[in-house]
Chain A
Amino acid sequence: MDPLLERYLGVIEVSRKHRMAQAVPLLRDQEKEALLAAYHPDYKKEAYRPIRFGPNAGAETVHELARLLEADSPLVAKPANLSRADYEVDVLVLGGGGSGATAALAAKDAGASVMIATKLRMGDSNTVMAEGGIQVAVKEDDSPIQHFVDAMHGGHYKNDPRLLKVLVEDGPFVVDWLDSIGVLFDRDQDGNLKVKKGGGTSRARLLACKDYTGLDMMRVLKDTVLNEPAIQIVEFAPAIELLTDPSGAVTGAVLQNLDVDQRIVVRAKSIIVATGGIGRLHIQNFPTSNHFGATGDALPLCYRVGAPLAYPGTFQYHPTGAIHPEQMAGLLVTEAIRSGGAHLVNKNGERFVNELEARDVVCAAIIRECAEGRGIDSPFGRHGVWLDIPVIDAMNGDGVVHRRYPGMVRKYGRHGIDIGKQPVLIYPTLHYQNGGVEIGVNAETRVPGLYVSGEASGGIHGTNRLMGNSLLDIIVFGRRAGKAAAERAKAVGFGELTINHLDGFHKAMTDAGVTPDAVSPMILPDYVRRPDNAGNLPG
């Protein structure tokens, strides 16, 4: 057995009986506030600074993001030839994840010619990794109103109510559409959609494909896109700059071919940015659950053409990221396990928070345990607390863990750990960007021709997203973006390709006295060990 586990197994097993009988009360609002203020990374003052110029000048965000927003375009050091375009399409979709695939399909259905340019392979994304499920109100005791109420409360009342209404009301139609292209949601005994309970909600409304929800959605969306010859796909070609015409409307993009040193110029009537989240910025040095390409590229790209960001300073840390064994570091332990009854346990065998509290509260509580010396150290220098998964079987009967969470069982099983019998070590992991580029109900931004959907957008979830609402938003707003972008393409012609927007950007930069010390977007994180980049472990 793993030596670390061997040392603690006694404490965990002895305390389990007591813990099972114990009710850990939910915190009152004041207690929550105090806990968050003391331990949640979003509240850590030193980690933040104001953005010095641009549409969000004066707003606070983390150093890692502020630096990229104020960074220069790669076209400054190495200009691109904009005198001709390599591709011309009605709608250019940046990002081949769930939202990009959906937007492309919607734009094609609305009659547009479409191209998807993506950083890695089509489908290599955060979407494919989602495990827990997608929130949609489908039961008798539930309604879009109830869904709205939960998301508003979870989002600390900062959600844009117009966007949220669209999210919850489009929900059932989105499930119907996903079902019609072949996403196979779990059913209950009477053949209806099966719902599970997620953290922070007042009703059970998570639909899932066991614990492979994102995988099934992405696999089907990708297959649907691949089956459409009308949609062109260019892989390993991330966008590095948007192009504008003299009026400021977006008219194209420059892509970087990652296989050979070459730039690709695309002219388009509308552009949908669906490039996902920021986990790989490793904000405040947190490990991340996100895929390799999640470097927040949408934010500097859209910021430079003048699109404001909503809530650029709030991030979601998933309470249960694996930290041991090392080869699993960063991997998410699905929240369904926590909401399914697993206990969080410190090194003394004690529970220290009601596991059903919202994510931010649970994270803060785990960080507090570790900060106050009640955490457990891994051999690779990480620290965390135990997630006692076997208690689920102890409460519900043998084999429940294996039946409900086959994906998790397999992932740990590869490394000789049976989560039906052994607890696992976890710590909060950087998981989701709550904010993003500000959008309206059709995913439009304030820049003509520019649409943003999925995790790259902001406003829907306020300052804290509830589990299952992201898989929903990427489809809801992906469909709206695709449709709106295709409609615009019918009404406008191709525009001039310039980088005139950089003039204004540079002027604002100079006026603010800023000398950029980086180039953005980041494109890929750098984990290669070198003398100047030592001991940098991914995860």
Chain B
Amino acid sequence: MSAEIQTQMITVEIMGKQYQVPDGMTVISTMWYTGHQLTRGVGCLGGVCGACATVYRNKDDFALKVGLGCQMRVEDGMSFFMTPYYPAAKPNYRIEEIEHPKEELFKYFPEALNCRNCNACNKVCPQDIDIKGAVKDAVKGDFAAAADKALSCVMCGLCVSRCIAEMAPNMIALYARRTWSVFYATKHERLDMQMERIRSGYWNDEWEKIFALDEAGMKEYCKSRR
């Protein structure tokens, strides 16, 4: 959408070059504003897909930081570049072939035991997830806790890039979430009941009635049931 912009200009540095941009934009909109064409590094533009990992440094600060480029506001003096791809490995497992999820965790992710508590993963996580805690929960067998902690993980892989024990904490947490849901979470009687009714044609007469209606009849029927 086009708009009249009424804010101050700031100076940012992209891969070593300086640009003037209006204050209040994200890393990605700054890239576009300064003429960069992007194919990689952009996904949802809404902070949930993890495509836009960005490495940056603030003015007069020594530390290199990372964040999601579609969510981060650029600030005056900030220097950044986007890192579109991590070639992280992932073990293959089929959920239907798993029998004992808690033991098999160590078959698929033997490195899960090697966590050295450095906390680098937690510090880097743009979703503020206690991902170190989730790995520890999974190792202890508390999959419910791991599942809960990792709900908002966008799989950006930033924790993987920092882990000194060479593990993929996000993949471990996802394994815990999936297997928790399949093997341990409570089952739903109502869902079973509903499926049984559909299978047995419980509403067939009603459907017949509905499909015999003309447009006016359909309107009347639906309105009367609401």
A173 at the interface (CB under 8 A from B): yes
Contact indicator A326/B24 (Cβ below 8 Å): yes
**Residue among A176, A183, A410 making CB contact with B127, cutoff 8 Å:** A410
Contact indicator A215/B71 (Cβ below 8 Å): no
A179 at the interface (CB under 8 A from B): yes
A236 at the interface (CB under 8 A from B): yes
B3 at the interface (CB under 8 A from A): yes
B17 at the interface (CB under 8 A from A): no
A514 at the interface (CB under 8 A from B): no
| Size class of the B contact interface (CB-based, 8 Å) | 35 or more
Instruction: Find the A residue at minimum CB distance from B21.
Output: A529
Contact indicator B226/A202 (Cβ below 8 Å): yes
Spot the interface stretch: B42-50, B54-62, B115-123, B132-140: B42-50
A 223-239 to B, binary, CB cutoff 8 A, 1 in contact else 0: 11011110000001000
**Residue among A138, A157, A176, A327 making CB contact with B215, cutoff 8 Å:** A157
Known pairs A123-B49, A258-B39, A331-B46; A172 contacts B191 (CB<8 A)? yes
Known pairs A140-B190, A379-B6, A538-B29; A121 contacts B1 (CB<8 A)? no
Contact indicator B1/A161 (Cβ below 8 Å): no
Contact indicator B153/A381 (Cβ below 8 Å): no
What is the minimal beta-carbon distance from A200 to any residue of chain B, in angstroms?
10
B107 at the interface (CB under 8 A from A): no
A20 at the interface (CB under 8 A from B): no
A342 at the interface (CB under 8 A from B): no
Contact indicator B95/A538 (Cβ below 8 Å): no
CA distance A183 to B36 in the complex (A): 38
**Residue among B90, B152, B181, B223 making CB contact with A179, cutoff 8 Å:** B181
Contact residues in A for B65 (Cβ distance below 8 Å): none
Instruction: Find the B residue at minimum CB distance from A123.
Output: B49
Known pairs A219-B174, A224-B95; A124 contacts B151 (CB<8 A)? no
A 112-138 to B, binary, CB cutoff 8 A, 1 in contact else 0: 000000001101110011000000011
Instruction: Find the A residue at minimum CB distance from B94.
Output: A227
B 181-220 to A, binary, CB cutoff 8 A, 1 in contact else 0: 1100111111100110110000100110011000100110
**Residue among B3, B45, B49, B188 making CB contact with A537, cutoff 8 Å:** B3
**Residue among B3, B51, B73, B180 making CB contact with A121, cutoff 8 Å:** B51
B14 at the interface (CB under 8 A from A): no
Contact residues in A for B34 (Cβ distance below 8 Å): 529
A199 at the interface (CB under 8 A from B): no
Contact residues in A for B152 (Cβ distance below 8 Å): 212, 215, 406-407, 410
Contact residues in A for B90 (Cβ distance below 8 Å): 226
Contact residues in B for A157 (Cβ distance below 8 Å): 215, 218-219, 222
| Size class of the A contact interface (CB-based, 8 Å) | 35 or more
Contact indicator A172/B26 (Cβ below 8 Å): no
Spot the interface stretch: A145-153, A305-313, A432-440, A478-486: A145-153
Contact residues in B for A415 (Cβ distance below 8 Å): 73
Q: Which of B34, B47, B128, B206 has the most CB of A within 10 A?
A: B47
What is the minimal beta-carbon distance from B33 to any residue of chain A, in angstroms?
5
Contact residues in A for B127 (Cβ distance below 8 Å): 410
What is the minimal beta-carbon distance from B31 to any residue of chain A, in angstroms?
9
Instruction: Find the B residue at minimum CB distance from A203.
Output: B226
CA distance A285 to B1 in the complex (A): 5
Contact indicator B211/A181 (Cβ below 8 Å): no
A180 at the interface (CB under 8 A from B): yes
Contact indicator B210/A161 (Cβ below 8 Å): yes
Contact residues in A for B43 (Cβ distance below 8 Å): 120-121, 124, 128, 291-292
Contact indicator B33/A184 (Cβ below 8 Å): no
**Residue among A216, A229, A292 making CB contact with B44, cutoff 8 Å:** A292
B7 at the interface (CB under 8 A from A): yes
Contact residues in A for B203 (Cβ distance below 8 Å): 143-145
B10 at the interface (CB under 8 A from A): no
CA distance A329 to B35 in the complex (A): 20
Contact indicator A181/B95 (Cβ below 8 Å): yes
Spot the interface stretch: A185-193, A266-274, A489-497: A185-193
A43 at the interface (CB under 8 A from B): no
Contact indicator B39/A291 (Cβ below 8 Å): no
**Residue among B24, B39, B92, B151 making CB contact with A209, cutoff 8 Å:** B151
Contact residues in B for A173 (Cβ distance below 8 Å): 195, 198
Known pairs A121-B51, A124-B43; A380 contacts B210 (CB<8 A)? no
**Residue among A176, A215, A259, A382 making CB contact with B154, cutoff 8 Å:** A215
B 65-101 to A, binary, CB cutoff 8 A, 1 in contact else 0: 0000001110000000000000000101111000000
A247 at the interface (CB under 8 A from B): no
CA distance A172 to B195 in the complex (A): 6
CA distance A180 to B211 in the complex (A): 33
**Residue among B33, B49, B190 making CB contact with A128, cutoff 8 Å:** B49
CA distance A535 to B22 in the complex (A): 11
What is the minimal beta-carbon distance from A33 to any residue of chain B, in angstroms?
14
Contact residues in A for B33 (Cβ distance below 8 Å): 529
Known pairs A187-B186, A406-B152; A528 contacts B7 (CB<8 A)? no
Contact indicator A144/B5 (Cβ below 8 Å): no
What is the minimal beta-carbon distance from B47 to any residue of chain A, in angstroms?
6
Instruction: Find the A residue at minimum CB distance from B224.
Output: A149
CA distance A268 to B132 in the complex (A): 44
CA distance A184 to B46 in the complex (A): 22
A458 at the interface (CB under 8 A from B): no
CA distance A289 to B45 in the complex (A): 9
CA distance A410 to B46 in the complex (A): 12
Contact residues in B for A286 (Cβ distance below 8 Å): 1
A87 at the interface (CB under 8 A from B): no
Given contacts A150-B226, A172-B194, 6 further A-B contacts (CB under 8 A): A120-B42, A138-B194, A182-B95, A216-B177, A236-B39, A379-B6
Q: Which 8 A-B pairs have the closest CB atoms?
A: A182-B178, A191-B186, A381-B3, A124-B43, A184-B181, A381-B4, A527-B32, A326-B24
